[in-house]
A = this chain, B = another copy of it.
Amino acid sequence: MRTDAEKEALQRIRPLTDEYDEILGVAARIKEEVNSSGIAEAMLVGSVARGTWVRGDRDLDIFMLFDPALSREELEEKGLGLARRVADRLGDEWREKYAEHPYINATINGLDVDLVPCYRVASGAEIRSAVDRTPFHTRYIRERIAPFVDDVLLFKQFAKAGGVYGSDQMTEGFAGYLCELLILHYGGFTPLIRAATHWKPGLLIDIEGHASRAFDEPMVVVDPVDPKRNVAASVSLDQMFAFVELCRGYLDAPSGAFFFPTREEPLSGAAFGEHTGERGTHLYAVTFATPPFIPDVVVPQLRRSLEGIRALLERSGFVVNRASEAMGEERCILLFELFCDEMPHIVRHIGPPLWSRANAEKFARKWRESDCFAGPYIENGRYVVEVERRYTRAGDLLASPQMLGVGLGKHVKRAMEQEWVVLRGEECWSPEFAGFLTTFLRKESPLTHLVRSGQA
């Protein structure tokens, strides 16, 4: 039995008949164009192919399956050549893009169409790269999903509304294919939601019972078409449990807000300043020009940089409450909230253990002749000296050359070698990051937000 909230949601998310006709019509024309080339066979993949797309989605994924006898170079050359011709003939505009392999992204009849060359291999075990796997996913789901289309639509909408839909690096959530597998495994939306309330880290779902290796991610759903692959590899522990929390909240009180929450306005600059002041902590932002790469490349580097700088701050005694990163169109931001942003001018400098005689004697001799606050003395078998601290203010440390030595990602480092800016307190606010900063200050789990705002 569907709840009222589910019935209402379905009314809003089921594709409309004319939308359906339009999108499949465009797909048919593109397929015809590809097939008429005689060198590749077109296959409609993605949620449209599986009948699991949500109203308003305007994406179409057409794969062009080539003879596996072609070399990688030939595939790229012929594949992109064909895709360009199709896009020229049918599209309004197009551009070359690059994920694992190059492909063409075109605008055709107002739809966002990806034209992706791949190999036509005989089984999932023979795939040469990730794109070759997609046709197998499409076939697997298409053969099974018919009884559960509404369930998939509800689940995708539920996950989107909760901020856990998408396997990209920014979201670390549930891919569309994963949503479909979970619905198949549990047999519908309601059984899935109920089961998820009991999930624990280490969850293992292996529909075909064919896992061929061990996995160590918090959530494992073995790919039915590839026993070595975890379809849920992208799901972080925290996003897994953000979803679990939403399921618990929904079962307690199923309301429409779990499918269509109202969003809060981001804080204005003034309100942000006030809110920051209330917390009494010390907020610092490091910003730099966004490297010219896709989010899935840049975001992991931002995370690594964030952790490197956090460690630098903490090594220097500046205790961090929280840190977060965001990638904007123009700038990237690394945000740090400190409990303490000033330190006395003393710092401990830990030397070699005394049983490493030559090193220890060299260290002690050097520092005995220098101006120290204390030491060299012996602590846990090592020499320690207390000397003048280089940066007594967190802001100065964040502006210092030490920043370039903390294991930033390659592209982040290149960007920061050009310039970076250190902002403090209210200065951190900008229209580009207003939403990010608001979420950071008011940090809440998805369910907490729904409850607090009176939506659940």
A→B interface (CB under 8 Å): 197-201, 218, 237-238, 241-242, 244-245, 248, 278-282, 317, 319, 321, 339-340, 343-346, 348, 354-355, 357, 361, 364, 368, 373-381, 383, 386, 441-445, 447-448, 451-452
Q: List 10 A-B contacts (CB under 8 A).
A: A197-B357, A199-B355, A200-B355, A248-B357, A319-B340, A321-B346, A321-B386, A364-B448, A374-B444, A376-B445
> A444: which of B218, B244, B375, B381 is its contact (CB, 8 Å)?
B375
Q: What is the distance, in angstroms, from A275's C-beta to the closest C-beta of chain B?
A: 10
Given A344-B281, A357-B198, verify A378-B321 contact (CB < 8 Å).
no
Question: A278 vs B248: C-alpha distance in the bound complex, in angstroms?
Answer: 57
A203's nearest neighbour on chain B, judged by CB, is B355
Contacts A248-B361, A279-B344 supplied; 13 other A-B pairs, CB < 8 Å: A197-B357, A198-B357, A200-B355, A241-B355, A241-B378, A242-B378, A244-B354, A321-B386, A364-B445, A368-B448, A374-B441, A375-B444, A377-B443
Task: Flag if B445 contacts A346 (CB, 8 Å).
Answer: no
Task: Flag if B279 contacts A346 (CB, 8 Å).
Answer: yes
Query: Chain B residues with Cβ under 8 A from A280's Cβ?
Result: 344-346
Question: A375 vs B451: C-alpha distance in the bound complex, in angstroms?
Answer: 12
A379's nearest neighbour on chain B, judged by CB, is B238
Q: What is the distance, in angstroms, from A276's C-beta to the closest C-beta of chain B?
A: 11
Question: A339 vs B377: C-alpha distance in the bound complex, in angstroms?
Answer: 19
Query: Chain B residues with Cβ under 8 A from A374's Cβ?
Result: 441-444
Copies in the complex: 2
Question: A441 vs B374: C-alpha distance in the bound complex, in angstroms?
Answer: 7
Question: A319 vs B242: C-alpha distance in the bound complex, in angstroms?
Answer: 33
Q: What is the distance, in angstroms, from A165's C-beta to the closest C-beta of chain B?
A: 17
Q: What is the distance, in angstroms, from A331's C-beta to the closest C-beta of chain B?
A: 24
Q: What is the distance, in angstroms, from A60's C-beta to the closest C-beta of chain B?
A: 35
Question: A298 vs B400: C-alpha distance in the bound complex, in angstroms?
Answer: 48
Task: Flag if A317 contacts B345 (CB, 8 Å).
Answer: no
Query: Chain B residues with Cβ under 8 A from A245's Cβ?
Result: 354, 364, 378
Question: A378 vs B245: C-alpha distance in the bound complex, in angstroms?
Answer: 10
Query: Chain B residues with Cβ under 8 A from A248's Cβ?
Result: 357, 361
Task: Flag if B377 contacts A448 (CB, 8 Å).
Answer: yes
Query: Chain B residues with Cβ under 8 A from A381's Cβ?
Result: 201, 218, 237-238, 241
Query: Chain B residues with Cβ under 8 A from A445's Cβ?
Result: 364, 375-378, 383
Task: Flag if A321 contacts B348 (CB, 8 Å).
Answer: yes
Query: Chain B residues with Cβ under 8 A from A355's Cβ?
Result: 199-201, 241, 244
A376's nearest neighbour on chain B, judged by CB, is B448
Q: What is the distance, in angstroms, from A360's C-beta to the closest C-beta of chain B?
A: 8
Query: Chain B residues with Cβ under 8 A from A282's Cβ?
Result: 344
Question: A238 vs B355: C-alpha distance in the bound complex, in angstroms?
Answer: 11
Query: Chain B residues with Cβ under 8 A from A383's Cβ?
Result: 445
Question: A321 vs B445: C-alpha distance in the bound complex, in angstroms?
Answer: 36
Determine which residue in A245, A378, A445 has the highest number of CB atoms from chain B within 10 A of its CB, and name it: A378
Question: A281 vs B238: C-alpha distance in the bound complex, in angstroms?
Answer: 39
Task: Flag if A238 contacts B343 (CB, 8 Å).
Answer: no
A239's nearest neighbour on chain B, judged by CB, is B378
Question: A339 vs B394: C-alpha distance in the bound complex, in angstroms?
Answer: 14
A374's nearest neighbour on chain B, judged by CB, is B443
Query: Chain B residues with Cβ under 8 A from A345's Cβ?
Result: 280
Q: What is the distance, in angstroms, from A253's C-beta to the closest C-beta of chain B?
A: 12
Question: A442 vs B386: C-alpha distance in the bound complex, in angstroms?
Answer: 10
Task: Flag if A376 contacts B444 (CB, 8 Å).
Answer: yes
Query: Chain B residues with Cβ under 8 A from A199's Cβ?
Result: 355
Q: What is the distance, in angstroms, from A272's C-beta to the closest C-beta of chain B?
A: 14
Task: Flag if B346 contacts A281 (CB, 8 Å).
Answer: yes
Q: What is the distance, in angstroms, from A244's C-beta to the closest C-beta of chain B?
A: 6
Query: Chain B residues with Cβ under 8 A from A218's Cβ?
Result: 381
Task: Flag if A448 contacts B241 (CB, 8 Å).
Answer: no
Q: What is the distance, in angstroms, from A38's C-beta to the closest C-beta of chain B?
A: 54
Task: Flag if A377 contacts B244 (CB, 8 Å).
Answer: no
Question: A442 vs B373: C-alpha distance in the bound complex, in angstroms?
Answer: 7
Q: What is the distance, in angstroms, from A433's C-beta to the closest C-beta of chain B?
A: 18
